Structure 1
């Protein structure tokens, strides 16, 4: 008893340690529901609990050996003497009691409440699994989005040509200041330039965005066709098996085309044995043999329509991203421009210079082409001078 009392009063150090670590993990999961995987780090410290358990076992085992010694040398002789004294006063008493219990309920309230909680838990189990799966996927999705945002930010701050194709309000103000100072302007844009540069809120897409839009839409159609083929094959197999079951639902019974009768005459044990055999043979001839039994039919399971609905929802989300993804991607530049206004001003100045330089290069190329053509056709020097100016 001393060892048990020691363990009961002090408690098992390993069990207490495990309980506190589990409570710490539960508190961590309640505080971080989306990142609950981090809380499993606490469980790695359970190795220390085993070390504590070794020390506690040694401490509480000393009274156990003392108890064994006392029980063997003192308690056993005293117990035997008391048992002999008690045997002198033993007598038997018989008691007969009749009772009747009538219950109007098959289950108690506790059992009913437990059954209700179990039913609710079974009904909510798919939702719990879906939430766990969503939490796992969302962690990696957030990590991937964070990486893309960092990568976009680095390119935005370092590369002037990266995603610098938008004619914003600040760009218009910059062009107006250039006009007030007598410097060359770029607005309004030409028809060719409007296909390359556009406002952030414009509904039309640039050439690069249209190419990316078409590629994403092609991938969506390819995967949707593959998924539709799999669903169609699944439902076709079910329809074919169900058709077989329907066509073979009738039971086919075969009978003997002709029968013959055998009779045995005589008396004695041998005659009775042969008569029994002949009667069994006659019974088999008159019986019906089932060639195709209902027991052997295949029972096809209908496809799970909830799976089809889930696949349709995923394809719908993918289609939404394909259609509106290009427009939502423009918000990245707006966020960076709000956090880095000086850098946005530098990029706008660079874009303004690029548009003006491209126009000058285009005019220079046209001028050189015209001059070369006039020189080749042998025109007068007067026209060459006019063209050069």
Structure 2
């Protein structure tokens, strides 16, 4: 009301606009649109006075508020990972708060509806910015993380493959040796048979040397006691002499027996007594048998063996007795783990470490996505706060968001024009930079600055998206080249044949055939392997994936441009719930524009002179000197009106004063009364009171 009193005191408002007029709803554009789009009873109900239909409005708002609270719970609270009890309590709290607020408070209803344009404005851009980061992180970021994880997996698999190949190579090299050793172990019983055969063969010689037959054993014992025989050589000498003597004695005995037998046969053959005795006398010459006793001397001289025979026999006997005794074989293969202990790296350890590292990164990635979802939910709280803050500022600060030429503004200006008083419309070009026509599809002065700020804030997400996408594409191409051109096949082929031939049928030949012959072995190995499983398997993002990732960024850019139009709706919503406040704001804005119009020329003159001083200072710089001396370049430079910043056209006025060249559009040159304040002396054009710059913003 104070603004109205000031306006009436100054005579700036038509007499028809009084406080009583502000108590009723004028047929504004919103009401006219509701009359056309909705049934008549709905339009009357929506635009009725606050005291009309109080009960129905309360219950209708109560139901709408409760439903809105449930919807907000489903979209914001339900996806969070919190206990079910907390979710239930938040559901009841939201439903009760919104139901009671919508049923009883126009302030609450207005703030809730302002959430919609705020969601499509700066506050919503914060929500969308988090969505952009989440899309980048879940799109090319996730793909980049997957492709990066392929690198350690491929390296670990390659190391494991090399370990397996080394094992296979070692197996191929050691198999022949192991087979020979196994043959030795398996042929142990054959060695025992060879020992038995040697013992059997040596048994005849042993029986001959150590046997008790062929002589008188009693004489042997007497000679041993007499000569104190201890060595095998002496024993064998005595046995040989005794056997030689025994043979001679046996021959003498046989000789006597032969003479006796022949004498008897002779006597039997000749029956004449005397003749038989004469003729058979030669058969009684048995004394001739004693001649054999001379053989004892020969036995003692020639029968004894060589001096080394006894020692050789002892050694041979010992060797034969030891053949096959204690013969056993055991094949033991010992693995040396010193290398693994030093390097602390084994096949399972390497694989476990790589898998653990990849799992940690995947877990971090999932936690980051969950954190972004929580931030998106919390960011919606700031949208609520901004909506309530706008409603509060709308009702407390009359200058807040008050630069629109509304229908009521035009009605006031039309009344004043009809009464032939000072009016505002049409606006001068110099005033267009601070006023917005809400029905114009163009982006206007105050909105342009806000839009440029929002667009500049889009640069960082765009750069982030480009960098992540480029890195992902480069990494995919590198890994794809490795996958297509790094396939290696390993072939392990080995042929081994060792054959030792031993001829002959002797004992030594048999022994050699059964010992050295064990070295005979044959092996043929052919193994193949490939590193295809170890090659990286990168994933390339499809066009649809890129489109899904870029959609939030494109939405962010589009929203930065369209937010100026959505922000105009905030004033429309607030004016519906607070019509009296809206009319006061429009009256104040109209009166302020009248005061600014009164000092328009002086303010613009001072602005021109200030810009002219700045331009003259710039001319003293090297760049300014280049601009002065290269006048032919000026036609390539786009110049603007010094008053309204409109681009130079054919109708623009260029000051002909040397070293000035200030540009004025046609309307601004007329508004400045065709005087160039940039080059004309200041004292010539100071007439009347001196208006300072502070007057531009005074009440």
1:329 Cα deviation from its structure 2 partner: 0.9
Cα distance in 2 between the residues matched to 1:244 and 1:375? 76
- 2:405 aligned residue: 167
In structure 2, list runs of 5 or more residues that go unmatched.
1-68, 79-83, 90-369, 503-511, 610-674, 690-699
Contact 2:403 2:435 survives alignment (8 Å): yes
2:4 corresponds to which residue?
none
Q: Distance in 2 between matches of 1:32 and 1:219?
A: 34
Question: In the TM superposition, what are the counterparts of 1:96-135 in structure 2 within 5 Å?
Answer: none
> What do the CA deviations read for 1:170-205 (whole angstroms, capped 9, x no partner)?
001111223344542112110111232121021222
Q: Report whether the alignment pairs 1:265 with 2:501.
A: yes
The answer to whether the 8 Å contact 2:432/2:445 transfers is no
Distance 2:533 2:467 in 1: 31
Q: 1:42 to 1:338 in 2, by over 3 A?
A: closer
Q: Pick the aligned partner of 1:327 from 565, 571, 578.
A: 565
The 1:221–1:177 alpha-carbon spacing in structure 2 relative to 1, beyond 3 Å, is same
Whether the aligned pair in 1 keeps the contact of 2:413 and 2:425 (CA below 8 Å) is yes
Greater relative CO (CA pairs within 8 A, separation 6+):
2
* Deviation of 1:376 (Å): 4.9
Q: How far is the alpha carbon of 1:332 from its aligned partner?
A: 0.3
How far does residue 340 in structure 1 lie from its aligned partner after superposition? 1.4
User: Matched residues in 1 for 2:577 and 2:457: separation?
Assistant: 35
Q: Using a 3 Å threshold, how does the CA distance of structure 1 residues 376 and 318 change in structure 2: closer, same or farther?
A: closer
- Over alpha carbons, which structure has the higher Rg? 2
Q: Distance in 1 between matches of 2:422 and 2:682?
A: 31
1:35 corresponds to which residue? 73
Deviation at 1:327, TM superposition (A): 0.9
CA distance in 1, matches of 2:87, 2:556: 38
User: Counterparts of 1:265 and 1:355 in 2: how far apart (Å)?
Assistant: 124
Taking a change above 3 Å as real, the CA distance of residues 303 and 166 of structure 1, as seen in their structure-2 partners, is: same
Partner in structure 1 of residue 520 of structure 2: 275
Structure 1 runs (4+) greater than 6 angstroms displaced: 132-138, 366-370
Residue 531 of structure 2 corresponds to: 294
Match of 1:24 in 2: none
Q: For the aligned residues, what is the CA RMSD?
A: 4.2
State the Cα deviation string for residues 249-286 of structure 1 (Å, max 9, x = none).
25255879xx997542335443343112xx34xx46xx
CA distance in 2 between partners of 1:334 and 1:309 (Å) = 35
Is residue 482 of structure 2 the alignment partner of residue 244 of structure 1? Answer: yes
Q: Indicate if the aligned counterparts of 1:216 and 1:322 stay in contact, CA closer than 8 A.
A: yes
Secondary structure at the aligned position of 1:330 is classed as helix
Q: Which moves more between the two structures, 359-368 or 331-340?
A: 359-368
Superposition TM-score, scaled by structure 1 size: 0.54
Write the distance in 1 (CA, Å) between the matches of 2:551 and 2:682: 67
Aligned residues between the structures: 256
d(CA) in 2 for partners of 1:374, 1:236: 64
2:441 aligned counterpart, secondary structure = coil
The residue number in structure 2 matching 1:198 is: 436
Provide the C-alpha distance between the structure 2 equivalents of 1:244 and 1:367, rounded to a whole number of angstroms.
71
